[in-house]
Every structure is written in structure tokens, then in C-alpha cells.
Amino acid sequence: MIEILKKEQLSSDVYLMKLHAPHIAQSRRAGQFVILMMDDNYGERIPLTIADGNEVEGSITIIFQAVGGTTLQLSRMKEGEGISHVLGPLGTPTHIRKHSSPVVCVGGGIGTAPLYPIVQAFKAAGNRVITIMGARNKDLLILENEMAELSDELIICTDDGSRGRKALVTEPLKELCESDVPPAEVVAIGPPVMMKFCSETTRPFAVPTVVSLNTIMVDGTGMCGGCRVTVGDSTKFVCVDGPEFDGHKVDFNSMMSRMSSYKEQEKEHQCRMDALAKDHIKGGTQP
């Protein structure tokens, strides 16, 4: 059992949890993720990026949105309780270098969470980091203070203008590419469509753009191939080759259709699980 050391609700359906996982805390690096499972027998394995870690405390931090069965179940867990299984760190760490011109880090929605350790690492390597954060509205922005403290410059965008600029993240990104000191590198993490358009924005300027993909996975160790994406001319496995790839080479359309593989089953499944949970509550037994 992996103990939940701390739980915090960041927005209506986004939660932060600090987990006691000393081995993962010791070896994890920016860009890596864990696979988590809530139940020994019937649980599913879901990948979640590591948002932070503390080697001394032996803890890692995950930030997740309660959208599917497993994340909903996770969101109902309390401090002091345990999670059945957490495997990690997985994936290849971010390639961190010192650049002479700024690094621009773009985070969309929950994607700001995995971006946080990457901003940390680029800063630690001595880079000037400009962070762009985007969300639908101000209530969905996460880690704003942390990012403000860490970044040399922070640009906030919301779709409705409730905080920062009323714009999509691609707007300030384009301006930065057009500026006198264009970014040496862009890291964009968020919904697939956001990463796709960030990559399209930087493409004409030939600014190297890294995206972090969160495709469907089962084992996370290279065995199933469910996470595979087309990158350039080849097929890559997100769990071992990634999760970070050259955004200019990723076939986002194919990836997005692959990510919808189980849409129907999940809808139907969710209805059944909800009914099951109700039955269990009625019957007074634990689900």
C-alpha cells in the first residue's frame, strides 16, 4: 500500500496528492510518470505524470482530474489511506539543456502539472524560462503561484478572459516566436489538440517543440504497445520511447483517434459502475 500523505483539491475536479513512495522519489526525474492501480483484482492501470517529488521526505506528488472511474475513485480517498499499486518512475526523462535564448513552457489545463518539474529543471540548468498557462476559466488554473515564483515571466490565458489574457495559448506563443529573441525550445503539455496547435504555431519558425503524450496504456513497460503513436515515419511507444516527442513529427490526428478507442465502452461501463456503486451502498458493503 502506498500511503496518501496529503490531499488537496485544486479546482472543482482537480486534486493534488502527495504519496509516500521513497524509491520513486529517489529515482524520478522531470518528464517521468507513474502507473497507478486502485484494486488488486479488478482495477485498471492508469498513467499519471509526476508533478513533484521530495527525496528527503520520500514523497512524490501527483495532480489529476477526476474524469474516469479510477480517477474518481482516487479523488474519494483520504489522507492516511493507501493506494494498492503505484509503479514508477516510467518513461524517458526530459532532455534538459542550457540554452542561450529563452525556453518557453506551455501548460494547458491539467497539463500544467507535468510541466512544473520541467520548468524546475530548465531553471536549475540556468535557463531563462517563460511560462504560458492556459485554462477555460480562472477556476481551472492550477499551480499559478508556484509557476509565477519559478518562471522568469508568466503569461496567463483563459478562454473567457476571467483571468489574464482572453486568448488561446497559441497567441502569446506566436508572439514570442515572432519576437527579436525567439525561443530556443518550446515544451507544450496539455490536451492533444492544444499540443497539436502549439506545434503548428512554432513550425513556420522552426522552433524545436517538445510535447508530452498521455496515450492509452496498460503495462507502461513497453510490453503491450497500446500507447503507440506515429512519429515521423516510425511507430514509437509512448511508455518507453516517450512520453516526450518532437511535436513537429507527431501524427496528432491518428493519436487522437486512438485515444478514443474505448469511448463507447467507457460510457457504458461508467453507467454500470455507478449502478454497481449504488447497489453496494444500499447493501452496506464496500465497493
Summarize as ranges the residues that interact with other proteins (CB under 8 A). 23-24, 27, 37-45, 69-70, 84-90, 218-219, 221-226, 228-230, 235, 237, 240, 251, 253-254, 257-258, 260-262, 264-266, 269, 272-273, 276
The answer on whether 63 is annotated among ligand-binding residues is yes
- Between 124 and 276, whose beta carbon lies closer to other proteins? 276
- Between 18 and 228, whose beta carbon lies closer to other proteins? 228
Residues 6+ apart with CB under 8 A from 94: 29, 30, 31, 118, 121, 187, 210, 244
Contact 52, 61 (CB under 8 A): yes
The answer on whether 224 is annotated among ligand-binding residues is yes
- Burial class from Cβ neighbours inside 10 Å (0-12, 13-18, 19+) for residue 147 reads buried
What are the CA-CA distances from residue 63 to residues 139, 161, 253 (Å)? 15, 24, 26
The answer on whether 157 is annotated among ligand-binding residues is no
Please tell me the distance from the alpha carbon of residue 83 to that of residue 39, in angstroms, as a whole number: 8
Least spacing, CB of residue 133 vs other proteins, in Å: 29
DSSP letters for 192-218: HHHHHHHHHHHGGGT--EEEE-----S
Least spacing, CB of residue 180 vs other proteins, in Å: 41
Least spacing, CB of residue 218 vs other proteins, in Å: 5
Least spacing, CB of residue 107 vs other proteins, in Å: 25
- Between 58 and 226, whose beta carbon lies closer to other proteins? 226
Contact 35, 23 (CB under 8 A): no
Least spacing, CB of residue 112 vs other proteins, in Å: 25
Please tell me the distance from the alpha carbon of residue 277 to that of residue 272, in angstroms, as a whole number: 9
- Between 179 and 260, whose beta carbon lies closer to other proteins? 260
Please tell me the distance from the alpha carbon of residue 156 to that of residue 230, in angstroms, as a whole number: 31
Least spacing, CB of residue 30 vs other proteins, in Å: 15
The answer on whether 237 is annotated among ligand-binding residues is no
- Between 208 and 226, whose beta carbon lies closer to other proteins? 226
The answer on whether 239 is annotated among ligand-binding residues is yes
Residues 6+ apart with CB under 8 A from 82: 1, 2, 3, 4
Residue type, 140: L
- Burial class from Cβ neighbours inside 10 Å (0-12, 13-18, 19+) for residue 191 reads middle
The three-class DSSP label of residue 264 is helix
Least spacing, CB of residue 59 vs other proteins, in Å: 15
- Between 20 and 228, whose beta carbon lies closer to other proteins? 228
The answer on whether 105 is annotated among ligand-binding residues is no
- Between 182 and 226, whose beta carbon lies closer to other proteins? 226
Q: Annotated binding site for [2Fe-2S] cluster, which residues?
A: 224, 227, 239
Q: Annotated binding site, which residues?
A: 63-65, 224, 227, 239
Q: Annotated binding site for FAD, which residues?
A: 63-65
